[in-house]
Amino acid sequence: MHLNSLTIDQVREALQQGHTTAIRLTESFYARIEVEDAAIGAYLTLSKERALQKAARIDALVSRGEQLPCLAGVPVGIKDVMATRDVRTTAGSKILANYIPPYDSTAVARLEHAGAIVLGKMNCDEFAMGSSNENSAYRPVHNPRDLSRVPGGSSGGSAAAVAAGMAVAALGSDTGGSIRQPAAFCGVVGLMPTYGRVSRYGLIAFASSLDRIGPLAKTVKDAAILLHTIAGRDAMDATSADLPVPDYVAELDKPVAGLRLGIPREYFADGLDGEVRVAVEAAIEKLGSLGCEIVPISLPHTEYAIPTYYLVATAEASSNLARYDGVRYGYRASGVQSLSEMYERTRDAGFGPEVKRRIMLGTYALSAGYYQAYYLKAQRVRTLLARDFDQAFQKVDVIVTPTSPTPAFKLSEKTTDPLAMYLADVYTVTADLVGIPGISVPCGETTQGLPVGLQILGRHFDEGTILHLAHQYEKNRAHGA
């Protein structure tokens, strides 16, 4: 039995059958990290003492014959933008290099309550700003499938760890594609829930109207189990929805025959890599063979998604990151003579180039004389984008697209061209802007062996439909049916 290849169900079964212990399983993952992570760079901080203490409690439950919680003994990683009590949380930035939170984020607390073992904190683009995981202040993350390529961003560490067998699953965050695009690049499953489905309490904010927490996993079923665990109303987050959380796992095996799949022509236009197109179109054909109805649709305002996103997101980032000033917590410049000098030198040394770029873009968009011309107009276009999806969902049940226009690109290939980097998110940002859920599931490989992701988007709070469609595709593709 290869412990590092187990799924969530297999971990539970292995513990119950006595094939392993939670401590032995946890130690096997730390051994794998020690061997593999020097080349990949997925982890920033390990929480071994905390993990082994939790594992010992799980083993005690097993020895007493007590019922195990749903994630008992499952080793997971946490993107380093989520607070973890007494464990360093940096957001991939020098400005929070020594920040140790006194509390857990709600999503982390719910995972641990369900028995999960937190191995450590995952590398990410600084403050979740990036599409390649090259913006981390500490080191870039390398794609386990090809170490010369990026894993995607900003949740690149989370995706890479799952792909490399250094975690059974992980939590990431998605503001413009940061769960789904790394999942596609690394060949794993990445799920972005509806805005409000999962509490953001304890998530270090990038853009508050866009940020979401979600799972990266080896299988769609694992993603469904994780979402069910972390979803639901939280009194600590006023934006979390007070809605019942369905049993996503129970819905996975529902038939998909008769589901109407919307195929937007705007997502299959110029700029889509030929091999990605072939893989995605083959996946759509497979879904059609399962009885799904393929419906051509149009999302006419798609061309405005990238500029709209980079106005809304940067404006909110400018506001959210104002708190990092050297006064209350985080890095503080030394040898300064005045308060204004401390602010200037702290933020100059503490923030990396991409974060500074986005703060400046956002501050400009919010400044007097430009607010109406830029930020307000972007919010109006955001409404038009939402209307596109509302109208489409009157005709179809889900929307199916490529996750990314290209497979994983080379490290440093786009770092000197921010616009080219931003366009890597062209198929993912719109779902963030309109608040709907989306999942990326592997659907093939290029001739170079690089993974390709299929993106399935659903109506607000209808994660169940996209999960069961993704599961049926995953199962039938694996069986060659």
**Mean pLDDT, 10 residues at a time, the chain of 481 residues:** 91 96 98 98 98 98 95 98 98 97 98 98 98 97 98 98 98 98 98 98 98 98 98 98 97 95 96 97 98 98 97 97 92 94 96 97 94 95 98 98 98 90 92 98 98 98 98 87 48
| Catalytic residue, candidates 154, 173, 199, 404 | 154
Which of 93, 132, 178, 318 is flagged as catalytic? Answer: 178
Domain locations in the chain? 3-251
Quick one: tokens of 2? 């290869």
Contact 421, 414 (CB under 8 A): yes
pLDDT, position 418? 85
Q: Which residue, 411, 15, 475, 23, is CA-closest to 256?
A: 475
Q: Which of 77, 102, 298 is nearest to 169 (CA)?
A: 77
Q: Is the peptide bond before 404 cis (omega within 30 degrees of 0)?
A: no
CA atoms within 13 A on the CB side of 336: 15
What confidence score (pLDDT) does residue 423 get? Answer: 84
pTM above 0.95, yes or no: yes
Q: Which of 54, 79, 121, 221 is catalytic?
A: 79
Strands 260-264, 398-402: pairing kind: parallel
The length of the chain, given as a count of residues: 481
Number of other CB atoms surrounding residue 360 within 10 Å? 12
In angstroms, what CA-CA distances link 20 with 16, 50, 57, 59, 162? Answer: 9, 19, 15, 10, 20
CA angle 147, 127, 420 (to 5 degrees): 60
Q: What is the CA radius of gyration of the chain?
A: 21
Sequence-distant (6+) residues with CB within 8 A of 341 are 333
* CATH, range 3-251: 3.90.1300.10
Write down the pLDDT at residue 328. Answer: 87
Task: Write down the pLDDT at residue 480.
Answer: 58
Classify residue 138 as exposed, middle or buried by CB count within 10 Å of its CB (0-12, 13-18, 19+).
Answer: middle
| Strand 169-174, strand 75-79: pairing | parallel
CB contact at 8 A, 324 and 347: yes
Is residue 154 among the annotated active site residues? yes
The four Cα atoms 328, 334, 336, 341 give a dihedral, to 10 degrees, of: -50
